[in-house]
Every structure is written in structure tokens, then in C-alpha cells.
Amino acid sequence: MLGCLDHTAKMDADKWAIKRAIILLIPSLQLCLHEFFRTQQPCILTFNHVVMTSHAMGNLRNRYCTNKQERGENELDSQQIAAHLMQNSCRMFKGRTCHPEPEAIRKIVLLERSALLPNYFAAQAEGTHAEAIDHLHQVLSEQIHRATYQTCLKTGTDESRGVAREKATAFVERLPLLQDMLYEDVMETLQGDPAATGPDEVILTYPGIFALGVYRAAHVLVELDVPLLPRMMTEYAHRLTGVDLHPGATIGRSIMIDHGTGIVVGETAVVGNHVKIYQGVTLGALYFPKDEQGMMLREVKRHPTVEDYVILYSNSTVLGGETLIGHHSVIGSNTWVTRSVPPYSKVTYETESVVRTKEAH
């Protein structure tokens, strides 16, 4: 009996030790976080922190309180935090001395839209239509230089400035072609959507037209070998519309994107002419090929090819670089396609829908 009491007492003592360790853990965590930001060094919390002697814990508390008094009760040590964040960012990423500016991306999109449709989106702050195009050329030159050389235009060399301005000029010279393609997209949408009342509604309200316009401009920059900037442009449109068109994809003419939300067209996808794409459609990769060292192969076709006059209904998914959707085919809603489909095919997802009604009495 005495042995049982001794065993019970020992268990109670162990429980109390565990409770005490947990109680001590709370200030230990607080001190650990404080030391992390104060010294800019990672603080590894081990069990030893939990079972420190009361004397050691008291010393830490005193030091913590002293530091607070030295800094002031509510003073933020922003310099120490900033130094730590800068050090870690430089350690994690190479970084850029200069990159395309988000506000300039927005300006490029708006200036290009006003250049193509001046009777809808007049750039009043820019003066005349020609002056707006000159401003577009100026902004593009700066951002192309930033994307290509990671330096501002004014700090570049004569050669780098010349290359940036030459590519901006090549872009501006393609504006008439972009305008023709925009007109074809608007007409295709107007003819394909009975809810569209006219070109005004399509131009002013359809997110697909906006996303296609930004994609087509960004794709021109891809063809001019401008890095980074095209992706920043299409991601700007993606955030606004929910339509994710990679600037590297090849998308034909007379395209209708209806509703738009959730559409994804991958980098190596090829889309023909007169294709209709509804919300939630994905033209994606089936798998990511790797080399012998296990590194991902990036310069391979991963996304499908969709030929002319294909209709891709809502939430259909087409995957794989070798998958080809033949012309004049219809890919129904909620379908999952990973193999090629011959021309004039109709792919549907078959399921039984049961409707039960209550009989009238």
C-alpha cells in the first residue's frame, strides 16, 4: 500500500513538472521572438528553453525589461527589423536593381487602349491622339529598358537605350494590326453572344475583350524578345478580369471570350481562329517533363492545340502538349480531355440528372 502511495506521489510530481514546463514555455516563446528581432539571428527554441532555472529565466526577464526601458515602452525598432528583412531578402533572391513599375504597367495598358479606340477612351491628359501615342512610346521605352537591362533608361548606355527605343517603336508600328484584331474580336463576340446589344456594350463591359487586348499587346512584346514586362501586363489584366492568358501562348484571330472568369490558357497553348471560350476553361499541362537530373524541362510544348471554329464550353479542361482538338469540334461543359479529338467531334460529360416533383392533390 505504501508503495502505491509513493507511485501516486511520483505521478503527481511528474504532472506538476509538466505543468510547470508549459507555464515556463509562454514567456520563453515571447523572449525568443524578441531576441529574433533584436539580434537579427534565428532563435532556435529547444526543450532546454523550457526547463531553464528560475535564476536564468529571471535574468532574461530583466534583460527584456531593461531593453524595453532603453527603447521606450512603445518604440518600434524599425531599423533592426528592416536590416533583418533586407539581409534575408538578399540571401533568398538575387534581386533586381531596377524592374518595370506596376503603375507604368497600368499606364501602358490604358495608353494602348486609348490609341486603339480613341473615340471610346480619349487620353485627355495626354493632349492629342498623336501625343498620346508618343507618350506610350516614351513609357514603353523606359519599361522595356528596365525589364531588359535592369537599369533605368537614363542610366543605360547609348546602345541599351537605342535597343529599348527601337523595340518600343516596333510595338507602336504594330498598333494598326492590333486594332484590326481588336475589331475582329469584338465582332466575333457580338455575333456569338445574343446578350450583346452592340459594339459599345462589348467594348465597354466585356472582360474578355479587355483581357484579349492586353494579351495581344503583351504577345507583341514577347515576339520582340522583351522579358518580364509582358507577363506583368497579362497578370494586371488577370487581376482585373479573372482571365489568365499567358503572353507566350499563340492565340488566333476572331476570338470570343464570354463571361471570362477562371479561364486559363497556358504558355505553350495554340488556339486557332474563330474559337469561342467560356468561363472556367483550362488549356493546361498534363505533366511536367524532366531531364535525367530531374530538372524540369521548360522549352517543351506542355499545353494543347485548339484548331479553328472550336467551342470550349464552361469548365471544360483540355490538357497535354500532344493533345489536339480538331476544327469545328465542341467540347462540352465539365469535360476532361487528355487525348486528341478529330475534327467535327462533340465531347460531352454524361451524367444522369433526376428531377423529382411532388404530385398535385
Most confident of 9-18, 65-74, 76-85, 156-165: 156-165
Sign of CA dihedral 24, 28, 29, 34: positive
pTM: 0.76
Give the contacts of 35 (CB within 8 A, at least 6 positions apart).
41, 43
Domains of the chain plus CATH, in order, are: 18-92 (no CATH), 98-241 (1.10.3130.10), 262-361 (2.160.10.10)
CA distance 246 to 221: 12
219: pLDDT confidence band, cut at 50, 70 and 90? very high
pLDDT at 346 over 60: yes
Name the more confident of 284 and 127. Answer: 284
What average pLDDT score do residues 265-270 get?
98
Choose among 215, 324, 226: nearest CA to 264: 215
Q: Is 102 exposed, middle or buried (0-12, 13-18, 19+ CB in 10 A)?
A: exposed
pLDDT at 222 over 70: yes
Strands 311-312 and 330-331: parallel
Which segment of 115-119, 251-255, 294-298, 303-307 scores lowest on mean pLDDT? Answer: 294-298
**pLDDT, averaged across the chain:** 85
57: pLDDT confidence band, cut at 50, 70 and 90? very low
Which segment of 61-70, 142-151, 189-198, 252-261 scores lowest on mean pLDDT? Answer: 61-70
Residue 206's alpha-carbon distances to 12, 72, 210, 211, in angstroms, are 71, 56, 7, 9
pLDDT at 64 over 50: no
Tens of pLDDT along 274-327? 999 999 999 999 988 888 888 888 889 999 999 999 999 999 999 999 999 999
